[in-house]
Structure 1
Amino acid sequence: MMNQKTHHFLVLLLFFCTIALAQQYKSLNYFEIAIQKKAKSDKSQINFNKAQYFFLKKEWDSTLVYSMKQLNSKSDLETKNYCHYFRGYSLKKKELYKQSFIELSLVNKSFQYYYLIDNNIGHLFLLEKKFKKAIIYFLKAEKEILNHKDEDEIATLYTKIGICYVHLEQFDKAEYYFKKDVLINPKRATKSIIRSNINIANFYYAQYKDQQAVYYFKKAYTLSKSVKDFNLKKDATFNMAIVEENRGNFKKSLEYRKESEQWSDSVNNQNKIWAVADYEKKFAVAQKQKQIKVLEVQNKLKNAERNAFFFAAIGLLLLLTTGVYFYAQKIKNAKIILLQKNKLDELNATKDQLFSIVSHDLRSSVNALKTSNAKLSATLETKNYDQLNQLIIQNSTIANGAYSLLDNLLHWAMLQTKQLYFHKESVHLYSVVQQIEYNYKPLLLDKTITFENSVSKNIFIFVDLDSLKIVLRNLLDNAIKFSNENGKISFYSEDTNTDFCKLIIEDSGIGMKESTIQELLSDSELLSKKDNSEIIGTGLGLQLCKQMIKKNSGTLAIESELNKGTKMILSFPKTIV
């Protein structure tokens, strides 16, 4: 029993440390109000207004861009202090701790909210496990934080101080801060309070004070029911499962584990993609059938009216006029029904063809992986390490291809069902290309392909950042796939002195025929297999790119010759300054 408890203790202690390090400082309502008031007081500072807007929206990349623009312009000391704070906080959120410390250190001590600087620097030291320094800065910030009487903020501060003392093995001081009244007797349930109760429980559990630990585990679990944070619910439930397992109550432990697993289920689970697609299809079919039935009922009513007018007709002319009128109505309804039926058939054909193509490619990938694994097992016995290395690289390539196909399928399905949210903003094109290059560095090195980023560093385009990344990833992935070893891929821009900027992606690969280009650029919504399908694939990635480029008000053109490479020419609207 002791061995089992020791094992679970280690799991809980690791979990406790993870919670402590993952907990971030929460922006306060009064500080947010102060930021908004400053922005309204001087609307001429456009970059500051945008920086504070994106800061409150927690969009850190955009916050960094506009705060730097404001710092590069003429600004008073207070505005500079706000901008340095925005940048320090955003860099901390992006886990760039050294850069965050530098920005926070640039804030002048005359800043009205300088205690926030102390609190954030303390948190940086906590993340870097410099606990004594962290405590010094937390205690500097304590007085001002207490003055604001924000229970959630105070609870977060005392929890972080307690965590520092735990790591310093000063358990009396840790217990003192963990048992502050704001932590154990909260006025309302918040995420920080629940995390604090979990930390208190783990603190006692680490010292084998099981009775006190169980009390706070149960309290955290109860409080978690009143918040909407699924991760927090999962953590509290998982702890209860371990507690019940150590107490020998395996039936109750199993119930908690099942509940924990339910909270950890992801909406984007790949196994649910097909179920969602099937549900969408059934829903669409049901809606169309319902409309057809309504039209059929309306048609029958029209026929009944026509019959009534027929029998009640007084003269031949009135009878003829009435007959013509209702006949026209019938033809009109029949055309409507036919058009809707054709639309439904087209939707079903698109769905069936998509399923057929994707399932064929997935089956091919899985079969190739199965065959390669069989060879891998046979090669292990012969200890042919060169062949083993080739098979491992082959398996990795197949797995990456299958993952890219599923990722494109997910985004395509979300785009078709209008679940993708597009938020256009000013994007620094060079930085995005640089990030895409970093993500694909291993694939480029594997084929010894030279990558050149010649995009102008002065270009900002107005697009949705996430969809732009999806487009560039797909096009770079295709360029790598169709390039030979020791080839070259270039990203460069052309400024045509218009409202649009051109981005060219050029490779020295195998190229394509003019007929293939025309087929790829056609407006057809149906997917189709191309010649040499084992190389070309489903075409889903390019379909996705075309739709996302269109959503961003851009255009796509292709220039290519066989064995002379390909140019993918994209144009996007520039940011209007």
Structure 2
Amino acid sequence: MFLYDTMMTQKAHNFLLTFLFLPLFIFSQQEKGANYFEVAIQKKVRSLKSKNNFNKAQYFFFKEEWDSTLVYSMKQLNSNIDIETKQYCHYFRGYSLRKKGLYKQSSIEFGFINKSFQYYYLVDNNIGLLFYYEKKFNEAIIYFLKAEKEILENKDESEITDIYTNIGICYLHLNQYAKAESYLKKDVLLNPKQITKSVVRSNINIANFYYEQYKDLQAISYFKKAYKLSKNIKDFNLKQTTAFNMAVVEENRGDYKKALEYRKEAEDLKDSLNNQNKIWAVADFEKKFAVAQKQKQIKVLQVENKLKNTERNSLFFAAIGLLLILTGGVYLYGQKVKNAKTILLQKNKLDELNATKDQLFSIVSHDLRSSVNALKTSNSKLSATLETKNYDELNRLIIRNSTIANGAYSLLDNLLHWAMLQTKQLYFHKESIHLYSIIQQIEYNYKPLLLDKAITFENSVSKNIFIYVDLDSLKIVLRNLLDNAIKFSNENGKISFYTQETNPDFSDLIIQDNGIGMSHETIKELLTDSELLAKKSNSEIIGTGLGLQLCKQMIKKNSGTLNIESEINKGTKMILTFPKTRTNG
């Protein structure tokens, strides 16, 4: 019995069309042989052998690797290329974005293509597809018709069948059946006589068209034809589709045995990854077949089955409810434990930060208090000396006051810069710096302190070295390190600044003194992040360590590194590594 003799409902028709109709539209413009456009691209590739990005873009385009296509087409667009090559790149991008479901961006890319582009009918066709995806079928038809006209003018027969299919499907959505039939029949008639995937799809499309209108005799004829033709092609997906069509047709006709045979054939052709899911569908059809043979037995057992189903459903929902309660309890307990751990970590971190803050304030306030007290005591002596008019002692006290004031100023200056670094308020602007000139400036600033301790200063930095750093932060680093070198040097000592080459992209700046040096334990503490040193046994020399911590952070911000080499009573080497300016590297 045919479809219209089986009391078939609208729902049965929709089931078939939902599975078959929409995917077929999506497959248009895919899996075709070489067409005019592809040949033109290959010709373009041969003329642009030096354009590697274009070659890669078209390679990934035909491989349907859309992300790679987008990357290399954009790289090609960013270079100086001719207008025609730009049109191809924008087409690659628009097509790839459409495939990725980014329809708005796809429309923008197609909008960049000029109508003078030789294959602009492909652009119109793609824009029509974008409107179709938005279910704007009238707008889609406008662009498909434009594409049809342009294709016929260019005689590109490889594209015209897809256009006819697309137009027919849009008319079908608009319930304009006469126009839809006209274009779908054109598609069938234009297909080559040899059996291809396009021929099979065309027959399925026209079958769907008749099926939508309940013209089941015509529809079944084309479904059968598509099924027979699919035997001569190698596309397993299409074979599976035609077999599935026949299964649904036979199911609606009430022949469950044949439907089951077609269903099993479709399942055999299905990709192995989906076979497990389809087992239930096969089981469902086997059940229908069994039900059709044993309807009387089922009627007798209906009441019992309903009771069992009710009991089973009750148990099922009770189990689901219990599972949800248990899952919710476990989740809430896990969140509670997680939040407790987070709070504990935050508390520990806060305690650590508070301890560091308290330590910093304690040490800084102690040093400032010591400096102010020393300045107060020295000023008292200065007043007494003025009365005795002892000018040598007066000069010594003035120099001492200046030293104390400079030390307090340096401490406050370091504290200010450290605070600005922690709160990310310090502005960094990297530029090319002539290192030798900066060392000269630092030497000039510290000339009085060097003379006071009769320290020899040697600037052996190469005059050809330029480094790429922030100038202000570099000066802060060099001032702190020179100040430390003077502080830790004995009278008549020597401080040297020199460079060495260990890496073509970086320059090593060494600050060497022959002062009191330091132990390996002290070096380890100084190089540890966020380590503030308290006063050691020699309280006149060892301070907070804030200056060196500030230097480490600023060196790191300038993409540099700091190393320390030192021995007790043998002096210290501070080794700073900064990136060179590339143009001078």
Higher Cα Rg, which structure: 2
TM-score w.r.t. the length of structure 1 is 0.47
